[in-house]
Amino acid sequence: MMKANTESLYDAVELASVISTGELMRRPARLPDHAGESRALVALAQAMSNSPERILQQLVEAAMTLCRAQSAGISMLDAEKGRFLWPAIAGAWSMHVGIGTPRDFGPCGTVLDRREALLFSRPERCFGYLSAVTPRIDEALLIPFYVGGEPVGTLWVVAHDESRRFDSEDMRVLTSLGTFAGLAYQTLRSWTASAPRAQRPMQQAGPRAIS
């Protein structure tokens, strides 16, 4: 797990300086792809019953495709250990699957605390440990997802350079997928509880540190 010292990592700028959610509404929004979104949701619904062990990976792949992102992933909260785990990632960050990040010091924790979608610009300026993640984050759009009315994780998309800028349409799509993420989370937990141990996803010794 990536460990954070909150005194040393709030080093360059304040949190407000890396949150740029207001830009989403100021930027020209791309046209929605309702057909592509519908196909993705149908495929996800089928995966819920046919291959629940793959549902999170299919979800992040759909998020990356529909939002035209360069990476996408899901963070699931482990409240007892005070951390998030990234169990599924698509795109340029796929090698970082299984990484842990702090609950109380990072973009995911901020999104859960505020219970709203947030756009971060170069967040490593505030959360210094993120500078070890490559390729770097230019923009990251995160939304919380819920189970029983409580936030249990985030779904996110990342742009690694200035060639991609997220807009209000991306927030709409990601929010729609976030509703599905809560169902996927519950489905995977039920499947994991009943599946033979050898078939369970994410059977790892523990979260890895990014170096």
Domain 6-196: homologous superfamily in CATH? GAF domain (3.30.450.40)
Q: Write out pLDDT tens, residues 154-177.
A: 999 999 999 999 999 999 999 999
In which band, very low, low, confident or very high, does the pLDDT at 47 lie, cut at 50, 70 and 90? confident
Contact in structure between 126 and 18 (CB atoms under 8 Å): yes
For the chain, the first-to-last Cα distance in angstroms comes to: 11
φ, ψ for residue 97 (rounded to 5)? -60, 140
Q: How far is Cα 197 from Cα 194, in angstroms, rounded to an integer?
A: 9
What's the pLDDT at 26? Answer: 97
What's the pLDDT at 12? Answer: 53
Contact in structure between 117 and 174 (CB atoms under 8 Å): yes
Give me the chain's average pLDDT, please.
87
φ, ψ for residue 155 (rounded to 5)? -110, 135
The residues pairing with 17 across neighbouring beta strands, listed in sequence order, are none
Q: How far is Cα 102 from Cα 108, in angstroms, rounded to an integer?
A: 9
Strands 139-147 and 118-121: antiparallel
Domain ranges of the chain: 6-196
Contact in structure between 172 and 157 (CB atoms under 8 Å): no
Residue 101: half-sphere exposure toward Cβ, Cα within 13 Å: 23
Q: How far is Cα 180 from Cα 178, in angstroms, rounded to an integer?
A: 5
Contact in structure between 155 and 63 (CB atoms under 8 Å): yes
- What single-letter DSSP state applies at residue 99? B
Separation in Å, CA 153 to CA 35, 103, 134:
27, 10, 22
Whole-prediction pTM: 0.86
